[in-house]
Amino acid sequence: MSKQKFWRGVLPAITTPFDANGAIDHAFLADHAKRMIAAGCGGIVPLGSLGEGNALMFEEKLAVLRTLVETLPEHPVIPGIGAFSTGEAVRLAREAEKIGCRGLMVLPPYVYVGDAEEMQTHVSAVIDATKLPCLLYNNPIAYRTDFLPEHIAALAERHANLEAVKESSTDVRRVTAIRALIGDRLDILVGVDDAIVEGVAAGAVGWIAGLVNAYPKESVRLFELAREGKHVEVDALYRWFLPLLRLDTVPKFVQLIKLTQQQVGMGSERVRAPRRVLAGAEREATLALIAEAEHNKPEV
């Protein structure tokens, strides 16, 4: 079975916008998704960690997917499938398929951290629940579950519709380790912004990006330059972008990225509790960082 081409390129881990009353702002969500596609992104990944999927109710998640599928009929919507229980994750996967999503990003369960067999059984149940192509999300820092290369190889052997892995361990050597075990059986996507150039050099073919929500053109250009091996141009753009890309790798990355969106006119900093918007010295330092980046922003 040939893999979908939409695993390649830049896929925004799109943020979930909220209005002043805390409800999802569907009109802004639709417009924001169209801006991402217009900048050259290949699809949209909602309901992930950056999308605050763990803070959304089940029906809210389905509403987000309906909005995006209706807005982007020609482009893949690939939702994060995360839940506290396997049963709920399976239900979300099936509903996403009915709504018209083109692929799924499969997460380990929220909160509970089991042994390797339990975690593989959980994601296997979700992958088995759908005919859609699936991407495994490995983020041991956030979810405290680490799908090692040998686990990923076993899952790939078991599931024909497992086509890709989002590698967010922050260890770029994982890219080469996975490829050493299974070759090109899975497409590998980088899941942490400040490892994208290194990940592409190691063999990754896609980027599920965070700061793309504020800087879509710059993100797409950086990926293209890295893929084309244009080292001089990559180095110049990466040096400018790295201070911002590092905002994606700290505990308050959602607040940081949404604040960046707000400052560049690409969104609002509103978040869903228990998160709170940044305040005090932390906020001032971030605003200064964004202001400096804006002052030195390159033409792309």
Contact between residue 172 and residue 204 where contact means Cβ atoms under 8 Å apart? no
Q: Which domain holds residue 37?
A: 5-229
Q: 259 with 278: CB under 8 angstroms?
A: yes
Number of structural domains the chain divides into: 1
Q: Give me the sign of the Cα torsion angle 89, 94, 42, 35.
A: negative
* φ, ψ at 225 (rounded to 5°): -65, -40
Q: What is the pLDDT along the chain (300 residues), one digit of tens a residue?
A: 578 889 999 999 999 999 999 999 999 999 999 999 999 999 999 999 999 999 999 999 999 999 999 999 999 999 999 999 999 999 999 999 999 999 999 999 999 999 999 999 999 999 999 999 999 999 988 888 999 999 999 999 999 999 999 999 999 999 999 999 999 999 999 999 999 999 999 999 999 999 999 999 999 999 999 999 999 999 999 999 999 999 999 999 999 999 999 999 999 999 999 999 999 999 999 999 999 999 999 999
Q: Which two tokens stand for residue 285?
A: 């330092």
Residue 112: active-site member: no
* Residue 210: burial class (beta carbons within 10 Å; 0-12, 13-18, 19+): buried
**Residue 166 falls in the annotated catalytic set:** yes
| Tokens 């497992």 -> residue | 162
Q: Pick the catalytic residue: 61, 137, 143, 258?
A: 137
Answer whether residue 41 is part of any domain: yes
- The CA distance from 253 to 124, in Å, is 29
Q: Do the domain assignments include residue 272?
A: no
> DSSP 3-state assignment of 274?
coil
pLDDT in tens, 208-259: 999 999 999 999 999 999 999 999 999 999 999 999 999 999 999 999 999 9
Within-domain flag for 86 = yes
At 3 the three-state DSSP class reads coil
Q: What is the pTM of this model?
A: 0.96
Q: What is the pLDDT of residue 1?
A: 52
Identify the residue whose tokens are 């073919």.
Answer: 205
Catalytic residue among 166, 215, 238, 258: 166
Position 249 in a domain: no
110, part of any domain: yes
User: 3-class DSSP state for residue 117?
Assistant: helix
Does some domain include residue 293?
Answer: no
Q: Which residues pair with 167 in a beta bridge?
A: 138, 190
193 found inside a domain: yes
Tell whether 270 is covered by a domain: no
> Phi then psi for 70, rounded to 5 degrees?
-70, -35
- The CATH number given to whatever domain includes residue 146 is 3.20.20.70
